[in-house]
């Protein structure tokens, strides 16, 4: 009897740990993230990390500066991307559209700068600022540097999450 109680408590602890993990590293719409990341030639763990840092997987998120959706795209930037892709004005609250435009833009920035850290800096602060910082030998805003650190630190965690989909399947969605 004692061993069955111990096993039950151990299983409860493991499950609670998995739920806690989901609080810290939400993972929603994983199939959509994988598909849009693959279409853009990106690591899906990187995309999950950006979405976590930007919106924590809330499709209806709007920043104080007006960035919208999962990947927190500014409407003007989204219109520019949509025009390049031949789309009409995009619905940034639509998770599929937001991810499609956001992953295209992230791929564009990685190709432009040749480094993921600089691409993430540009994703957060804008390419014109990054161009000024690179040519002027300056460093990014503290907020932008923090964004880049958060994203890069979460990538290995999301590689585990994406490699063990059971973590997502056995725990509830925690979007509020």
Query: One of 28, 54, 96, 143 is an active-site residue; which one?
Result: 54
Inter-residue long-range contacts of 168-175, CB under 8 Å, 24+ positions, other chains counted: 168/22, 168/27, 168/30, 170/15, 170/18, 171/15, 171/18, 171/19, 171/21, 171/22, 172/19, 172/22, 173/28, 174/19, 174/22, 174/23, 174/26, 175/26, 175/28, 175/57, 175/58
143 is catalytic: no
Alpha helix positions (H), 25-163: 30-40, 44-55, 75-85, 95-113, 116-125, 127-136, 142-163
Q: How far is CA 77 from CA 106, 150, 166, in A?
A: 12, 23, 36
Q: Kindly list the catalytic residues.
A: 54
């Amino acid at each position: 009897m004692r061993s069955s109680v111990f096993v039950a408590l151990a299983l409860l602890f493991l499950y609670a740990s998995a739920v806690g993990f989901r609080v810290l590293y939400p993972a929603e719409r994983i199939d959509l993230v994988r598909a849009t990341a693959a279409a853009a030639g990106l690591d899906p763990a990187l995309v999950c990390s950006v979405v976590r840092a930007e919106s924590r997987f809330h499709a209806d998120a709007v920043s104080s500066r007006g960035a919208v959706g999962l990947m927190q795209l500014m409407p003007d930037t989204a219109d520019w991307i949509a025009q390049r892709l031949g789309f009409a004005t995009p619905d940034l609250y639509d998770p599929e559209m937001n991810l499609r435009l956001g992953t295209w833009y992230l791929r564009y920035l990685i190709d432009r700068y040749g480094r993921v850290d600089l691409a993430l800096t540009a994703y957060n602060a804008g390419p014109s600022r990054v161009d000024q910082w690179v040519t002027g030998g300056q460093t990014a805003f503290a907020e932008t540097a923090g964004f880049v650190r958060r994203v890069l630190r979460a990538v290995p965690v999301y590689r585990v999450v994406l490699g063990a989909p059971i973590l997502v399947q056995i725990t509830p969605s925690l979007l509020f």
